[in-house]
A and B are shown apart, each in its own frame.
Chain A
Amino acid sequence: MIIDRRTGSRPEHLRTDLTSWVVGPYHGALPGPMRVHLKLDGEVVVAGVVETGFLHRGLEKALELHPWRSTIPYMDHLDPESAVFGELVLCLAVEEIVGIVVPPRAQRIRVILAELTRLSCHLGFIARVARAVGSDTMLHYVLRDREKVLDLLELQTGSRASLNFLRFGGVVADVTEGFMERVHETVDMLRVRLKEYNDLFTFNRAFVKRTANVGIISSEFAKHLGISGPNARAAGLPYDVRKSYPYCGYDQLDFHIPLGKGEGGTQGDALDRFLLRLREIALGIDLLKQAVESLPRGPFWKESLMDNFEVPAGEAYVRVESPRGMLGCHLVSDGGKNPSRVQFRVPTLPLLQAVPDLLVGGRLEDLPVILASLDLGIAEADR
């Protein structure tokens, strides 16, 4: 007997047979290679099982096979979209074991890069949501502005995505000529563009209809599964690693964490998650302005470290706030040439566990919207 979880008075309540549909591993609605086994009653999803692991690259093992200094480029591939956070979490862990105090200038450069990456990641999120609801115009506008942010990253680090710019004890190089001005220019442009996004897309009733009351994550559910990051904040949990466990001098910056307010629907629905990312873009613009204006003078890395770099035996667990949520890294060193064990706590995994519950009761057309609004990073989940 199929139990319709929604109200019984709908025409969908007619007794019909179920349809099975396996979506994936490659499908336009999916954020990456994954598989969703759907059971459909009409167009209403009654069960969904998520299958992952298509993108497993053995990253944690690969790190054990490489000398300390060669591990950093691999960390770019933990989540290629938010590359710098992988580097950051490994650098912080190593620095904690070795006991390096990173110069303030290097810390601030790290913050700038991290916030720029967060901007590009959130812009990519908007583009994916726009594609999920079939608004190609919005998709192109957002990707155009994301290019500007990626250009900034290329100007500073020499690469658009795989930065490989952070080192144990600092960063590779100082800020380039004209970088600060470009950052100012770009974030000012983004502010103007946010207005345009709102006019074109955010307040469009068709978009609100597609996302409001879809894929609701309540705060209890978020706590239960360990969901963190923007998705948890959209559900009303005021948890942000930048505030709770400040790193890289985030405590010197002045900012407030935006929370989901449940406009247009229920708190924690897809619309809330979308709006929260928009607010986080505005927050990122603020943070970037502060960071750029108060860039301290001084060295950008520990000069003495690079020759014969050694990590003593020890363990460390650090966490950073990546665009998708709390990214943790448990690092074990036995004092050898290579890391002994590296393990990551990625923010996408709890989200993947939440997907089956979010899909049930929704319609087939909600599937792309729900998946896009969760901002899943399959690369980091499968690693």
Chain B
Amino acid sequence: MESVFTSVLKYLREVYLGVKSILTSCFTALPYLFNRRSGDLHKEVTEQYPDPVSSRTADDLPSRSRGLLFNDIDRCTGCKACEEICPTKCITVENELGTEASKVWVAVFDIDMSRCMFCGLCVEVCIPQSLVHTKEYEGAAYYPRDLVISFGRGRITPEQRTKWAAIRQAKEAEETL
């Protein structure tokens, strides 16, 4: 059993410590009012998003950052490695035989960005390195169908297909001669 004096002292000490700690908290936060804070570069941490003052434009992102996908169709061989490895199956590739046996006409190369998880596996397996991540990250669209990005050269008509087959056969015939 402690004496009344001790318990009163204890009580007063508790009150004193409480007030002191509350004041400490207040004065720790106070420098922020006057823009003096420990080792920070920016005044404010948050940004108004569409404002141009934003420090984070696409150019400021690190070189490895993975944004929307871009396919350089001139270098694409239509090998479908990306389509196979894509975990969410968001890439669709359809090939046609071109005018030469070695050249593939990539008719359809659609990437459904609404399903893409930006994992970067497709870029990793792309042997001709035609598929790359851009730093672009603003991909909002009004409709899900607008999120499908098409890089293909376009489907060909049946007449073209027969025409190209004829050219190809002619070339093959030349080579065999």
Contacts and interface: CB of A to CB of B under 8 A. Distances in A.
Given A155-B64, A189-B39, A204 B121 contact: no
Contacts of B176: none
A223 interface: no
B128 interface: no
A76 B87 CA distance: 12
A73 B38 CA distance: 37
B66 interface: yes
A162 interface: yes
The contact size tier of chain B is: 20 to 34
A73 B65 CA distance: 15
Given A70-B86, A137-B29, A158-B133, A164 B62 contact: no
A157 B62 CA distance: 9
Contacts of B17: 205
A137 B25 CA distance: 10
Given A144-B45, A159-B66, 19 more contacts: A70-B86, A144-B40, A154-B61, A158-B62, A158-B65, A158-B133, A159-B118, A172-B124, A176-B63, A192-B38, A192-B39, A199-B24, A199-B25, A200-B25, A203-B24, A204-B21, A204-B24, A205-B18, A205-B22
27 contacts: A70-B121, A71-B87, A72-B119, A73-B117, A73-B119, A73-B121, A137-B29, A144-B40, A147-B45, A154-B62, A154-B64, A155-B64, A157-B64, A159-B65, A159-B120, A164-B121, A176-B63, A200-B24, A200-B28, A204-B21, A204-B25, A205-B17, A205-B18, A205-B21, A205-B22, A206-B21, A206-B22
Interface in B32-48: 38-40, 45
A164 B21 CA distance: 44
Interface of A: 66-67, 69-74, 76, 137, 140, 143-144, 147, 154-159, 162, 164, 172-173, 176, 189, 192-193, 196, 199-201, 203-206
A192 to B, nearest CB: 5
Main secondary structure of the interface of A (DSSP, over half): helix
B45 A201 contact: no
A73 B121 CA distance: 8
B85 interface: yes
Nearest to A143: B45
Contact of A176 (B28, B45, B62, B87): B62
Contacts of A76: 119
Contacts of B62: 154-155, 158, 176
B85 A69 contact: yes
Contacts of A143: 45
A73 B64 contact: no
